[in-house]
Amino acid sequence: MNGRETLRGDAAMAIIEREIMHHGDAVIAHLAPFEAAGAIATWHAAIRSAEEFINIPQFAVPDALEHQLLSLPLGDALAADPSPAIAARDLLEPLLGEAVARRFMLSMIQLTIASVGLRESGHSMAGGFVLDCVAAGIDFLQSRRRHMVSLLYAMPKACTGTQALAPELAWRVMLPLLEYCCDGVTGWSWKKIQLLCLPDFALELDGVGAMASQAFNPLGTMFLEPERVSIMDMIDHRGEQIGAARREPQDLRLVFSAAELRNNVRLLEAVFAQFGVGDAAYGAIKRLLILCSRHCRDDYYVELPRTLFDAAIVCQDAIPAPELEALLISPSGSYADCSNDYAPFLALGDRLISNVVLLSRFANMFKNIHLGSRRSFLTNAGFIFEDMVKRGLANAGFTVTDIKRINRKEFDVVATLGRVIHNFQCKNNWIDLARVERDPVLYARYNRRLVRYYKRALGKERRREGLLTETLARDKIRHHVVSRFAVITDDPGIINYNQLGMRAQAIIAEAG
pLDDT (tens digit, 9 = 90+) per residue, 452-498? 999 999 999 999 999 999 999 999 999 999 999 999 999 999 999 99
Cα separation of 149 and 225, whole Å?
A: 15
3-state SS, residue 394: helix
Closest CA to 186 of 32, 340, 334, 46: 340
- For the ranges 155-169, 281-295, 335-349, 448-462, the lowest mean pLDDT is seen at 335-349
Give the CATH class of 375-510: alpha beta
What are the distances in angstroms from CA 444 to CA 12, 198, 220? 16, 10, 20
Confidence of residue 427 (pLDDT cuts 50, 70, 90): very high
pLDDT at 3: 65
Confidence of residue 1 (pLDDT cuts 50, 70, 90): very low
Buried b (16+ CB within 10 A) or exposed e, 42-78: bbbebbbbbbbbbebbeebbeeebbeebeebbbbeeb
- The runs of H, that is alpha helices, within 339-426 are 356-371, 375-396
Q: What is the mean pLDDT of residues 423-434?
A: 94
Cα separation of 221 and 492, whole Å?
A: 22
The residues pairing with 355 across neighbouring beta strands, listed in sequence order, are: 301
Closest CA to 430 of 487, 352, 387, 359: 487
- For the ranges 111-115, 127-131, 396-400, 457-461, the lowest mean pLDDT is seen at 127-131
111 has a pLDDT exceeding 90: yes
> What is the value of pTM for the model shown?
0.93
CA quadruple 40, 46, 49, 54: dihedral sign: negative
Closest CA to 268 of 343, 164, 369, 130: 369
pLDDT at 118: 87
- The domain spans of the chain are 25-188, 231-372, 375-510
For 30, phi then psi, to 5°, come to: -70, -35
- The runs of H, that is alpha helices, within 277-320 are 280-293, 306-314
Cα separation of 380 and 384, whole Å?
A: 6
122 has a pLDDT exceeding 60: yes
pLDDT at 333: 78
Largest CA distance in the chain: 76
Q: What is the mean pLDDT of residues 7-20?
A: 94
209 has a pLDDT exceeding 80: no
What are the distances in angstroms from CA 345 to CA 111, 113, 204, 354? 27, 31, 40, 5
User: DSSP secondary structure string, 112-167?
Assistant: HHHHHHHHHTT---GGG----BHHHHHHHHHHHHHHHHHHHHHHHHH-BS-B---G
337 has a pLDDT exceeding 70: yes
3-state SS, residue 28: helix
Cβ neighbors of 421 (< 8 A, separation 6 or more) are 414, 415, 465, 468, 469, 472, 474, 476, 477, 478
Closest CA to 364 of 233, 481, 493: 233
pLDDT at 461: 97
276: left (phi over 0), alpha (psi -120 to 50) or beta: left
